[in-house]
Structure 1
């Protein structure tokens, strides 16, 4: 089969198309003919070996796929690697039946990105109706879904940040009440002003650096910041426990891989998200349907923040 494989760590240039043997499913595994594979920012970290989990070479990247099994089931599934290929083997407990009303791009988007948004809101920050929330990287895959989910959960005010006017307009169209440029000087004060002069209850943050630092300063007492990525590749300042205590704030980290230990919660999340898509209440943004031969460009576009929504690759092209 055709697959994208890396034999050395680096940037998009190390992604190469090659012929490899078909994978063979083992016990409690499914073999899937892949129709679309998702592309996530985490894949760029995996490619240059800066991800939370160290990678081993040679490697076929890709952590999410949608396709069909030998018995004709249409499923979306998560896998640690191996997604950028014509066929993939997945744990059967991490495969989710896709309803007829959910297209391939949406099905893939509801995996890593949709479930990340779901867990951040429902399990990590315990977001409640009537609270205010800041969604950074709001035009991205997680952010665009988190805006809509927060609104449907009764958010009093959704404050989005995005790097361009077009992305900020997109965030507003998805339901954000206001959108800010994260490069704004004294971002903490801008966030508070955007919330009517009040500090905010929840921040979903995956940028790092000064954005994290200033977001922390915008939190209200009992406010919660969930850190789930570092797209800038810049470490934020260390957080001290006395500083958290002085404002009764919480900082939590989230990595979706830990949710793999709770398949029931994953199935609940996928079912709820799918129902929202089928009902028209949750819109998945297609950020680009790339041929597998253009996978390097997909990574380049993602790293340069030229994209919005969900990126996928088509293994048949």
Structure 2
């Protein structure tokens, strides 16, 4: 089969289009013939890696849509089942292996393309909105990186939850119309959002802030987080650490919450089953969708990564097998 591998950390040229053996399955695993995989910012971070020796060759990719090729005896899955999955050793390949606990059937009404755009960003967004953030209709919320995959879903889910004021932040107001179209009420840039939110809320601030950026965005978020508010931190796309102190939280009764979908897949995969049912229903019914910015062939994975790093896109970037 064809796959994208890397044998060192670095820029996009470390990604190579290669012939590899189709993987074999072990107990409680499925072999999946991949249709599409999504490209996530986590792929960029993993590709760049850290100095030192890695576990090479390395395959990137978090999720995949496709059909079951092989299943063990007494499995609840059968060959031909349409699924989305979180593979165990990357997803940039024509065939992948995933544990049954991390494979989810999808209906015929959901296209393979839209299904591939869904798993990582939508499972994550659903948990962030309804479990970690616990948003209420009376809330004012901020969604950072609102034009990205997670941001796009967070805004739509907040709309479904009837959140009072939904504020999206972007690097450039060229993305304003896109974010407003998703359901946001206001869109500000990273440079101005803190002051604008305080002005909008009569200096009360936002009740819940969803932060995937970290760095100085975290500090600015704390400037406009309301008393008893919740800063939900789930990434650091800036590549910089967000700084805070105990005085930022105790006297104001504010909360800092952290969440990682990767950690949850590893330690509590069973937690995702009910989430999957809800998310798949929302997508298959058309209540939530994720615009696909561009689809690249597997051999052009380098171009997909270059587009992600440019941040000049809206929605989700996919790789077609």
The TM-score range, normalised by the shorter chain, is over 0.9
- Equivalent in the alignment of 1:271: 277
TM-score (norm 1): 0.93
- Equivalent in the alignment of 2:75: none
Once the 2 structures are TM-superposed, how far is the Cα of residue 12 of structure 1 from its aligned partner?
Answer: 1.3
CA contact (8 A) 2:88 2:97 kept: no
CA contact (8 A) 1:178 1:194 kept: no
**How many residues are treated as equivalent by the alignment?**
310
CA contact (8 A) 2:143 2:209 kept: yes
The question of 1:241 aligning with 2:243 is answered no
- Matching of residues 107-186 of structure 1 within 5 Å: 107-184=115-192
- Equivalent in the alignment of 1:290: 296
- Equivalent in the alignment of 1:253: 258
1:136-166 CA-partner distances (Å, limit 9, x unpaired): 1001000000000011012010000112223
Distance in 2, matches of 1:38 and 1:292, equals 11
CA contact (8 A) 1:67 1:74 kept: yes
The question of 1:93 aligning with 2:92 is answered no
List, as ranges, runs of 4+ consecutive aligned residues in structure 1 with deviation greater than 6 Å.
none
CA contact (8 A) 1:134 1:158 kept: yes
Once the 2 structures are TM-superposed, how far is the Cα of residue 82 of structure 1 from its aligned partner?
Answer: 2.1
TM-score (norm 2): 0.92
Distance in 2, matches of 1:245 and 1:132, equals 21
Once the 2 structures are TM-superposed, how far is the Cα of residue 48 of structure 1 from its aligned partner?
Answer: 1.2
SS of corresponding position for 2:238: coil
Superposition CA RMSD, Å:
1.7
Once the 2 structures are TM-superposed, how far is the Cα of residue 101 of structure 1 from its aligned partner?
Answer: 1.6
- Equivalent in the alignment of 1:63: 62
Q: Alpha carbons of 1:124 and 1:265: their partners in 2 closer, same or farther (altered >3 Å)?
A: same
Distance in 1, matches of 2:264 and 2:163, equals 25
Distance in 2, matches of 1:105 and 1:245, equals 45
Structure 2's unaligned 5+ residue stretches are 70-78
Structure 1's unaligned 5+ residue stretches are none
